[in-house]
Amino acid sequence: MTETGAEVDRVDAEEQLELTEQEQEDLDAAEAQAQFVSYSGQDFDVAGLIRRLENDDILIPSFGHADERIEAQGFQRSFVWNRPQMDRFIESLLLGYPIPGIFLVRQTDNRYLVLDGQQRLSTLRAFKEGLHNSREFALKNVADELKGLTYKTLPEDLRRKFDNTFIQAILVSSDGSPKSLDSVYNIFERLNSGGTQLTAHEIRVALYAGPFIDYIEGLNRFEAWRDLYGKRSPRLRDQELVLRILALFHSSKDYKRPLKKFLNDFVSAHRSADNLPLECLKTLFKKAASLMVEQSGRAAIRLRGNQVNAALTEAVFFGLMKRLDSDAPAPTAAEVDEVIESYKENEAIYEALTRSTADEDQVTKRLTAAVAAFMGD
């Protein structure tokens, strides 16, 4: 492996988990139109919440996976609380401390989808069942008088307190329509704070999980694309980049800021993956990736540094895919490499690749330039 390749691998391995400046800007971008929702408050006793979880009347979806029972796919990652956090939460409940509320989405089938509160609900259920990670759930990180207690060994007064404590829930109604899902998305964005925030695409994958997201992930695994991009992104940035390429290639004329809204609308419109030329898009994407990696290698989508430049990536893929989709003869890998290097050195479009990259004018500028470069205009 060359020194450059080793350095790129190091950068890939150290990909930041915090939001990038562009991702934060994307999340902060205001919607052009206000989205109104209706909600209500309701108190649930702990025993009732656990019963509903056991009966699948409350659903805690797995992050990013389709579930036919869920109309608006879930926003939760895998369970992330450690045992001290779980113990302290149960202790707070047993001591009568205030418990944070939860957010639920009422679906059209009258099931409740957990919008916020997965870890609290999962902890309550695990304690009631007496197991966590296949081990006995006995309290450890708590006051001395509670140490070693399980749900079954709780004194009767504490067991009643556990079962009968009320937790406030905010119930948001959803009819499953795109407009309704937009509102749910916006609510979660406002709840998405503290700890490691989700990116706009992580929320998107959860909300719109289904055949089209699966299709994008299939392209994300393509060997030539992986050779170009590098290691898998723990924040799904590679998958979002595939989506950006496809959405702009198919619907660039519809592009408007904010980028998150454009991508949300595209995924929502094609969630079932039955109204897009999927085979054509797959062929063009794979051919473009293969041509790039053959001679340009990883440098094809990196601009004056070792990190992937998203604006450059979508532009060169857009231009090359347009060339491959035209009547013009397909370029050789050497020709592709020459065009990419010339494009990257074009000072006239450098700003469109590095500053305010989500602006409509900047997107149009770099895509138009890329098509002209690959078509030889």
3-state secondary structure of 173: strand
The answer to whether residue 28 sits within a structural domain is no
Same-domain pairing of 225 and 177: no
User: Please, which residues bridge with residue 44 across strands?
Assistant: 167
Range of the domain at 109: 39-183
The answer to whether residue 193 sits within a structural domain is no
Burial (Cβ within 10 Å: 0-12, 13-18, ≥19) of residue 159 = middle
What does the pLDDT read at residue 322? 98
Residue at which a domain ends, from 130, 151, 183: 183
Amino acid, res. 12: D
Q: pLDDT tens track of the chain, all 377 residues?
A: 334 444 444 444 445 666 666 666 666 666 666 566 778 899 999 999 999 999 999 987 554 444 444 444 333 444 568 899 999 999 999 999 998 899 888 877 788 888 778 889 999 999 999 999 899 999 999 999 999 999 999 999 999 999 999 999 998 877 767 677 777 777 766 766 554 566 788 778 766 777 898 899 999 999 999 999 999 987 889 999 999 999 999 999 999 998 988 999 999 899 889 899 999 999 999 999 999 999 999 999 999 888 999 999 999 999 999 999 999 999 999 999 999 999 999 999 999 999 999 999 999 999 999 999 999 97
Amino acid, res. 79: F
Q: How far apart are CA 174 and CA 215, in angstroms?
A: 26
Same-domain pairing of 165 and 291: no
Same-domain pairing of 209 and 342: yes
Same-domain pairing of 208 and 311: yes
Same-domain pairing of 246 and 139: no
What does the pLDDT read at residue 203? 74
Q: Give the chain's domain count.
A: 2
> Across the chain, which distance is largest between two alpha carbons, in Å?
81
Crossing angle for the helix pair 200-207 and 259-269, to the nearest 10 degrees: 20
The answer to whether residue 34 sits within a structural domain is no
Same-domain pairing of 169 and 238: no
